[in-house]
Homo-oligomer: A and B are copies of this chain.
Amino acid sequence: MHDVAIIGVGMVPFGKYPEKSIADLGWPAVKQALDDAGIAGRDVDAAFCGSALSGMMPGQRILGQMGLSGLPITNVENACSSSSSALRNAILSIRAGACETALVIGVEKLTKFGGGTLPLEHEDFEVQQGMVMPALYAMRAKRYMHDFGLTARQLAMVSVKNRANGVKNPDAQMRSPVTEEQVLDSRMIADPFTLLQCCPSGDGSAALVLANASTARRYRSDPVWVAASDLSSGRYTEGFRDMTTPEITVRGATHAYEESGIGPDEIDLAEVHDAFTVAELLYYEAFGFCPRGEAGAFLESGATSIGGKVPVNPSGGLLAKGHPIGATGAAQVVEVVRQLRGQCGDRQVEGARVGLAHATGGGISGFDHGACSIHIFKR
């Protein structure tokens, strides 16, 4: 399909901006995306703002700060998939003919919570029992190590790779390289995860300008096309029997490959949801980049490094670029679009024509339900 394209992208470097309001945090990304598309704000027909923890109407607050009023604004929440879900709804809105152009915003300010564990729902009885995100992923890591012989050193290599990519990304929160030793020697968070195997907490925003086909071609000669847009809910973990199959991502990947007619071998780069080191490895397998149980060896072979068979998280991923929850999905797409346009300098994936973005989150309220949004783009 060539019916919807991304014609503009922008983001603020992820980091800590405790003094900024949501509006101040968001509008520079929007301005950058509008400028990148060469479109005036008043010519955008609709906006979709993804955020998990910004309170009421972040989209109105951001666009109000820019003097943009009147257009339909939908605020979307889906935990870590918030702005990728906003993107999907923007795509559907264009396909429905309700708008010709749409703005997608992702924004989050985690510093307002003062650090530590995110505010979670009182009714979440998993969390009441200690099943916060680092603990959940740690159990998955332990299980995978047990089942497939993954080593602590291989886990650490995910951080080493992604931090090395982040060094080359001016929008990344963590811009210094780390060694395997530094990763393994950093403070223990939830065995086997040391601090440097957990994504940092921070603030940020990202924005995308979308257009239907004829409008996209009017604005630029190199639109990046949406080849698949999938949103699924489902089990965030598979449960007690097998914690290492991310069922919701496996299912979403199947949908996205079907919708696009593109297979895993054709993906030139992927931005996946590496909130913790093991997650990236599980997603190699979920997306079919390598067979089950072989993710550690696949990483070690260099296949997922820039220059490898399928570079994963060339932006630095959540581990280095950062993870302001609601901003992450849109920021992944910023990277994919820049890669497909060949704008990524030192971290460019040469000849990239097809890219994938994957944001997933959840684990709420004892039913381990979550959301997973997968987009495939092509130039």
Contact = CB atoms under 8 A, between A and B. Distances in A.
Interface of A: 21-23, 52-53, 55-57, 59-61, 63-65, 69-79, 85, 88-89, 91-93, 95-98, 112, 119-123, 230-235, 251, 362, 364-365, 367, 369-371
23 contacts: A55-B119, A55-B121, A56-B120, A56-B364, A57-B364, A60-B233, A60-B362, A60-B364, A60-B365, A60-B367, A64-B365, A64-B369, A69-B233, A69-B369, A72-B88, A73-B233, A74-B78, A75-B78, A89-B93, A92-B92, A92-B96, A95-B95, A112-B122
Given A71-B233, A78-B74, A365-B23, A52 B60 contact: no
A20 B372 CA distance: 28
A247 to B, nearest CB: 9
A231 B72 CA distance: 5
A91 to B, nearest CB: 8
**Those 8 A-B pairs whose CB atoms lie nearest each other, nearest first:** A64-B367, A95-B96, A72-B231, A60-B369, A64-B369, A92-B96, A96-B96, A75-B77
A56 B96 contact: no
A22 B366 CA distance: 13
Contacts of A231: 72-74
Contacts of A92: 89, 92-93, 96, 98
A73 B92 CA distance: 14
Given A75-B77, A95-B97, A21 B369 contact: no
Contacts of A57: 77-79, 362, 364-365, 369-371
A72 B91 CA distance: 14
Nearest to A94: B96
A222 B22 CA distance: 45
A245 to B, nearest CB: 15
Contacts of A77: 56-57, 75-77
